[in-house]
Structure 1
Amino acid sequence: MRINPETVDRIKHAADIVEVVGDFVSLKKKGANYSACCPFHNEKTPSFNVNPSRQIYKCFGCGAAGDSIKFVMDIDGIGYGEALRYLANKYNIEIQEEELTDDETLRQNERESLYIILNYAKNFYQKQLNDSEEGQAIGLSYFRERGFSGDIRKKFELGYSLDTWDAFSKEALEKGYSAEILEKAGLLIRREESRPGDRNSPGYDRFRGRVIFPIHHVSGKVIAFGARILKSNAGQKANQPKYLNSPETDVYHKSEVLYGIYQAKNAIRQLEHCYLVEGYTDVISLHQAGIENVVASSGTSLTVEQIRLIGRFTPNVTILYDGDIAGIKAALRGLDLVLEEGLNVNIVLFPDGDDPDSFVRKVGAEAFKAYLKKASKDFISFKTEILLQDAGNDPFKKAALIGEIVQSIVKIPDVIKRQVFFQRTSEMMKVDEQMLITEGNKLLRKLHAQKPQERKSRPDNAAPGGPNDLDFLSGMEFRDDSEIPADLFFPEEDVPEAPQRTKLHYQEEAFVKLLVVHGTKELEPTITVCQYVLSQIEGIDFKDPVFHHLLTLFRENYSRNHVLPTDYFVQHHEAEIRSIAIEWLTAKHALSELWAEKFEIYVPFETDVLDKTAFNNILRLKKAFVEERMKVCLQHAVQASSEEEQLAIMAEFMHFKHISMAAAKELGSVIG
């Protein structure tokens, strides 16, 4: 089914770019626009810009740009239709659909089919939990025993899978879903003897006799399931794992997902803090206690992608550990990743035998919150304490842990924070601060000793810091010149040269940008910018193919008394034109309000002096155009076959020269 055009228009008008993007990243007001670190590439300085007046976004780092629909498509990796359905659901718009042709049906995005079947499975498991005798007796009893209220169960969409071989797949097949899509979604395991298309006995359900924890994408769509077995008395169940998760699919990559991020993102953004736990029930129990800014790594080692997902909403994260010291020591080795991403990391350790779930149920919500404040320690101090306890009075172990602590400190991108932690570690370990800095410099020297080709061979998405990147070195101050690496900078040949653009290219761009951004605006009653500037450049064509195409569009439409509006280009079917238009409409820097409010300095905007801007653009374009003609004249003069031909060419050259000088004088340019 296809969404009809009227519904598409309603969705476009209802969708607010700030709300849509704000569901995925934490936006900060910056003048009239909003900014954030880009969700499409790794960065620590915000270059992602959202323009609410134009309803567009633009990243000046990676070039990503578009409107609300394009953002949802790119952030979720889904098609146009599914992005529209997501926005329609967000803004409670009833979808009117039209029949697709057979060819269009075949071209439906498989990812969209996966989302549909996973949502169907979620609804099925919820129904079994609440309506079936087995679900109520086993699953519902388990959740109630843990203190999960009806609202919490609904919030996390908890469910139950019946203890039969094919209860889910049988019903799904009867509803028309294929065995292939069930298998690709990780819901069905095929029997060895079954064949594709065998609807009678294709396989068996992956989840059987378990409580179900749906795993949501940050947008709210179900992408996978976690399942916990409850019965352990049957012989065949004794060998089954306690927890069973969906396999990796086209829509589920466990290294990129945090359990509870959809339910927690607003609280994380509002409180500017995130708690990180290990299990599903830890997350749900803390939500039940009113602590909603919490997510879980779902038992996997913390990954760079998960850290960056948290970093979209806050730079502050506190990791909650149970009292297992051996497990904590193992986990500490991987937490340098969090430091490398520029997050502020704290650690809370619970008493032996307790985890977040058991502790909050034991002491209550208020006592739990008080404990978090009291027991929270920054990562470097916590790691130093743990390793010092382990080293005791052994000087060799203490020397080894110095190197390990320094390795963590030099991963911190911010130079001021690094200095603070060098000082604090010096005090805790009772060692000279300069010695710690010297050790840090040795690590840096080893890194720089890598051959240039080794640095080049690293993947683009390698984690910054450590042995994989040089980003974390920015701002590092060496106290001894001898510690400065010899090859601090890459050789010149490693730096790609920027493509050269002529003066004419810049003026063509400025002229077309004026048409795209301000073409419909009036300079005087009944005289638009488009009408004025086009009338002044008759006989001039552009060399750049994209700018020539845009100029032709304006000329053709104006000949029919129609001026193309800006939105025509923002929503153009050609991606290159759409991207250029959005880039022109998005200001990279915002003017501080203090200029006018505090200093009473008033800076005119382009729209305030549009007549002057249009006039100057025409002059600059003509000047650049005739200067290109002058270059051609000089080339022809050198190749002239007679003195008469050479004199004629030079006369033409002087004609263009006078035009150029007149334009320069009008513009106030300094010429030789």
Structure 2
Amino acid sequence: MGISKLTTDKVKERADIVEVVGDYVPLKKKGQNMWACCPFHGEKSPSFSVSPSKQIYKCFGCSKAGDPIQFIMDIEGVGFQEAIRHLAGKYGIEVEEDETRTPEQNQEQSERESLFIALNFAKDFFVKNLQTEEGRSIGLSYFKERGFTPQIIEKFDLGYALDGWDQLMKAAKAAGFQEEILLKAGLILQREGDASRTYDRFRGRVTFTIHNISGKPIGFGARILTKDKNQPKYINSPETPIYHKSDVLYGIYQAKKAIRDLDNCFLVEGYTDVISMHLSGIENVAASSGTSLTDGQIKLIKRFTNQVTVLYDGDPAGIKASIRGIDLLLEGGLNVKAVVFPDGEDPDSFSRKVGSQAFQDYLKENSRDFIGFKIGLYKDEFAKDPIRKAEVIREIVQSIGKIPDPIVRSVYAKEASGLLQIEEEIIHAELNKSFIKNSKENFQKAKEEAEAEEMLEELIPTNSQTSVEDTLRLQEKETIRLLLNYGWQKLDHEELHLCEYLLSETGDIQFHTPIYQKILDIYRECLAKGEIPNTDFFVSQRDLEVRQVTIDLVTPRHEVSVHWHERHQIFINTESDDLAGTAFKSILRLKRRLVHKMMDEAKQKIKTAEHEAAEEGKVLELQQVYFELKKVQLEIDKELGIVIG
């Protein structure tokens, strides 16, 4: 069924754009509006604006815009109906169904929405099973044995899958769900060799609901309670269109507010670790669910905090096996601390053993930064073995080298020097060696990619050979054309003029074409006086070249006939219809051309240095420059949607 208009109107009336967007990205007030880095495309400077007065959001980079409902549709990838349901749940609005919708209309719901609905049905089914005779005697008794309160069971949507081959499947089909959707949701399986026979994936197990960031069920983990050696202890939902394990952390939905408020995320391994910490009064905790950390999970944490405290079970061998996760966190720009529990203990067992207050005190007293943690981990090994100490130093240097911020790297190098009792210069020397080694490897990889690109270009016939300088000049021309034609126009509903955007984005760029740089300088001088020059201003300039270039750029070569619209009702989108998007792409293309030119210059310098047999350090320095430029180019390509096979 659909949602009634009354419910939709209530949601529109109650939903606040700042609260809705604030659940996903941290907002900072600037002037009348709130600003953030856009959650829809990568950027370093905030261009995502939220207007409390107008109740809209707008990104001046990728041009995403809309109201609270549209934001949920964009960020969750759901349709209008699911967005309304999401917001209704957030604001405690009862959802009234529209009885007039036909079965055909219900079938037209997107597959993604259907999967969410099916998984939510499964969640409710598992939760209700705890009240059955089987559920109470097995599932509920297990939770009570672990000390889980009714409030915690409800908070995490814990449940029980009945011990039968098709209990869930029969209930779902009776509720109108198609077998195809249940298969795609990972709730049922097809029997090998007989696709016509299907059965429940989860049977005779307690269930842990996995939620996405907005609280929707997207998967399940299920634990067996019997000692059956032929069955795995845990089974989990497979990858589905809405569940990607590498982008999900268990408990992040319940923890996100506490993580943001306390500016720290405790990172654990399992479902019960998360739940036990909530029982101890610690809510800023999430779990990787036993898998290795991924870039997607690290980015998810970074949306709420830059501080991570990793909690390790009291198992030295297990710690050493999973310690690589610290390097990934450091590489992701997070500040990392670690806590190790006593031998044989994990967050779940230790919290139940010592109680809430003692558990919280232990975390505070035993939290160490990653340098002290790593050194303490290997201290006994290198106490009487100088060779092992040298190996540990190199391992710690490698971890420090993962930190992107040079100031933070320097601070940790100084701390490592004191703890390891070696000169700080040695730490920096090892860091430099590590950078040189990585530079060689990365440059070789970039060189191979460049050679592959050149081979690809040779296979594609071209009519002319355009130099790097020519393409850069053409893109500079395009930027000036936009500035002259639309500079005084405002970008959508905001107070920002297109010229202000273009000039701020080109502030550090020196145009290589003199006339275009001259026009840019004139424009900057006018803005500094509080004036926005129009076309007439440039056409009336004394400088003949400025006048000629202006006339050339403001006079279009082709125009769409008015008859297309007036006679034939054919509407043609123009660049002025989406000035923000046009300007954004133009700046990206300009920077891409500029980076190409710099890469070309770097290659020539490398060839010259190799030909002249220059010092190895000189060549490596040039190679590092080339590689950094290559990374910038790939980031820009990604934003523009350019893919090279």
Aligned equivalent of 2:216: 221
SS in 1 for 2:53: coil
1:231 to 226, 242, 253: 226
Aligned equivalent of 2:537: 623
Matches within 5 A, 1:215-364: 215-232=210-227, 237-364=228-355
Kindly indicate whether the alpha-carbon contact (under 8 Å) linking 2:314 and 2:341 is maintained by their aligned counterparts in 1: yes
Q: Could you give the per-residue CA deviations for residues 358-397 of structure 1, whole angstroms, max 9, x where no partner exists? A: 1111111111111111111001221122133323322222
CA 1:493 to 1:207, structure 2 compared with 1: closer, same or farther past 3 Å?
farther
SS in 2 for 1:50: strand
Matches within 5 A, 1:234-633: 237-450=228-441, 454-455=445-446, 498-501=475-478, 505-513=482-490, 620-624=534-538, 631=548
Structure 2: distance between partners of 1:96 and 1:324: 53
CA 1:152 to 1:502, structure 2 compared with 1: closer, same or farther past 3 Å?
closer
Once the 2 structures are TM-superposed, how far is the Cα of residue 633 of structure 1 from its aligned partner?
12
Aligned equivalent of 1:547: none
1:208 to 203, 210, 218: 203
Aligned equivalent of 1:73: 73
Kindly indicate whether the alpha-carbon contact (under 8 Å) linking 1:286 and 1:292 is maintained by their aligned counterparts in 2: yes
Aligned equivalent of 1:128: 129
Return 5+ residue gaps in structure 1 as ranges. Answer: 460-491, 519-579, 590-611, 636-672
Once the 2 structures are TM-superposed, how far is the Cα of residue 139 of structure 1 from its aligned partner?
0.6
Matches within 5 A, 1:179-194: 179-192=179-192, 194=194
CA 1:57 to 1:124, structure 2 compared with 1: closer, same or farther past 3 Å?
same
SS in 2 for 1:440: helix
Q: Could you give the per-residue CA deviations for residues 519-578 of structure 1, whole angstroms, max 9, x where no partner exists? A: xxxxxxxxxxxxxxxxxxxxxxxxxxxxxxxxxxxxxxxxxxxxxxxxxxxxxxxxxxxx
Query: Percent sequence identity over matched residues?
Result: 54
CA 1:9 to 1:445, structure 2 compared with 1: closer, same or farther past 3 Å?
same
Aligned equivalent of 1:551: none
Kindly indicate whether the alpha-carbon contact (under 8 Å) linking 2:2 and 2:106 is maintained by their aligned counterparts in 1: no
Once the 2 structures are TM-superposed, how far is the Cα of residue 282 of structure 1 from its aligned partner?
1.0
TM-score (norm 1): 0.68
Structure 2: distance between partners of 1:25 and 1:393: 50
Structure 2: distance between partners of 1:410 and 1:509: 46
State the AA in 2 paired with 1:126.
V
Structure 1: distance between partners of 2:378 and 2:492: 65
CA 1:266 to 1:620, structure 2 compared with 1: closer, same or farther past 3 Å?
same
State the AA in 1 paired with 2:537.
K
Q: Could you give the per-residue CA deviations for residues 21-69 of structure 1, whole angstroms, max 9, x where no partner exists? A: 1212333444443344443455666554433233333456665544323
Once the 2 structures are TM-superposed, how far is the Cα of residue 152 of structure 1 from its aligned partner?
0.8
Structure 1: distance between partners of 2:164 and 2:283: 35
Range 246-255 or range 412-421, more displaced: 412-421
Once the 2 structures are TM-superposed, how far is the Cα of residue 624 of structure 1 from its aligned partner?
4.7
Structure 2: distance between partners of 1:143 and 1:165: 23
Kindly indicate whether the alpha-carbon contact (under 8 Å) linking 1:383 and 1:405 is maintained by their aligned counterparts in 2: yes
Paired residues, what number? 508
Once the 2 structures are TM-superposed, how far is the Cα of residue 429 of structure 1 from its aligned partner?
1.3
Q: Could you give the per-residue CA deviations for residues 610-659 of structure 1, whole angstroms, max 9, x where no partner exists? A: xx99xx66x72443577899639999xxxxxxxxxxxxxxxxxxxxxxxx
CA RMSD of aligned residues (A): 3.6
CA 1:350 to 1:503, structure 2 compared with 1: closer, same or farther past 3 Å?
closer
CA 1:39 to 1:110, structure 2 compared with 1: closer, same or farther past 3 Å?
same
CA 1:514 to 1:180, structure 2 compared with 1: closer, same or farther past 3 Å?
closer
Aligned equivalent of 2:12: 12
Aligned equivalent of 2:172: 172
SS in 2 for 1:513: coil
Range 26-35 or range 402-411, more displaced: 26-35
CA 1:287 to 1:408, structure 2 compared with 1: closer, same or farther past 3 Å?
same
Return 5+ residue gaps in structure 2 as ranges. Answer: 451-467, 506-528, 553-645
Once the 2 structures are TM-superposed, how far is the Cα of residue 317 of structure 1 from its aligned partner?
1.1
Structure 2: distance between partners of 1:132 and 1:98: 32
Kindly indicate whether the alpha-carbon contact (under 8 Å) linking 2:250 and 2:287 is maintained by their aligned counterparts in 1: yes
State the AA in 2 paired with 1:360.
S
Structure 2: distance between partners of 1:582 and 1:153: 53
Kindly indicate whether the alpha-carbon contact (under 8 Å) linking 1:283 and 1:295 is maintained by their aligned counterparts in 2: yes
State the AA in 2 paired with 1:513.
K
Structure 2: distance between partners of 1:370 and 1:5: 52
TM-score (norm 2): 0.71
Kindly indicate whether the alpha-carbon contact (under 8 Å) linking 2:483 and 2:498 is maintained by their aligned counterparts in 1: no
Kindly indicate whether the alpha-carbon contact (under 8 Å) linking 1:345 and 1:378 is maintained by their aligned counterparts in 2: yes
CA 1:3 to 1:298, structure 2 compared with 1: closer, same or farther past 3 Å?
same
Kindly indicate whether the alpha-carbon contact (under 8 Å) linking 2:487 and 2:534 is maintained by their aligned counterparts in 1: no
Q: Could you give the per-residue CA deviations for residues 285-305 of structure 1, whole angstroms, max 9, x where no partner exists? A: 111121111111111111111
SS in 2 for 1:249: coil
Kindly indicate whether the alpha-carbon contact (under 8 Å) linking 1:26 and 1:314 is maintained by their aligned counterparts in 2: no
CA 1:125 to 1:458, structure 2 compared with 1: closer, same or farther past 3 Å?
farther
CA 1:331 to 1:31, structure 2 compared with 1: closer, same or farther past 3 Å?
farther
Structure 1: distance between partners of 2:488 and 2:435: 49
State the AA in 2 paired with 1:500.
K
Structure 1: distance between partners of 2:394 and 2:470: 32
CA 1:70 to 1:125, structure 2 compared with 1: closer, same or farther past 3 Å?
same
Q: Could you give the per-residue CA deviations for residues 413-457 of structure 1, whole angstroms, max 9, x where no partner exists? A: 222221111111111111111111011112222233356573388
Structure 1: distance between partners of 2:499 and 2:139: 53
Aligned equivalent of 2:142: 142
Aligned equivalent of 1:577: none
Aligned equivalent of 1:489: none
Structure 2: distance between partners of 1:582 and 1:322: 55
Once the 2 structures are TM-superposed, how far is the Cα of residue 494 of structure 1 from its aligned partner?
14
Structure 1: distance between partners of 2:388 and 2:382: 5
CA 1:511 to 1:367, structure 2 compared with 1: closer, same or farther past 3 Å?
same
Range 299-308 or range 390-399, more displaced: 390-399
Q: Could you give the per-residue CA deviations for residues 117-160 of structure 1, whole angstroms, max 9, x where no partner exists? A: 0000000011111x210000011101111111111111111100
SS in 1 for 2:226: coil
CA 1:188 to 1:285, structure 2 compared with 1: closer, same or farther past 3 Å?
same
Aligned equivalent of 2:50: 50
Structure 2: distance between partners of 1:217 and 1:53: 30
Kindly indicate whether the alpha-carbon contact (under 8 Å) linking 2:486 and 2:498 is maintained by their aligned counterparts in 1: no
Once the 2 structures are TM-superposed, how far is the Cα of residue 510 of structure 1 from its aligned partner?
4.0
Aligned equivalent of 2:153: 153
Kindly indicate whether the alpha-carbon contact (under 8 Å) linking 2:183 and 2:189 is maintained by their aligned counterparts in 1: yes
Q: Could you give the per-residue CA deviations for residues 184-239 of structure 1, whole angstroms, max 9, x where no partner exists? A: 111101123544xx6xxx4111111100110000100000001111122xxxx331
Structure 1: distance between partners of 2:189 and 2:278: 34
Structure 1: distance between partners of 2:129 and 2:16: 37
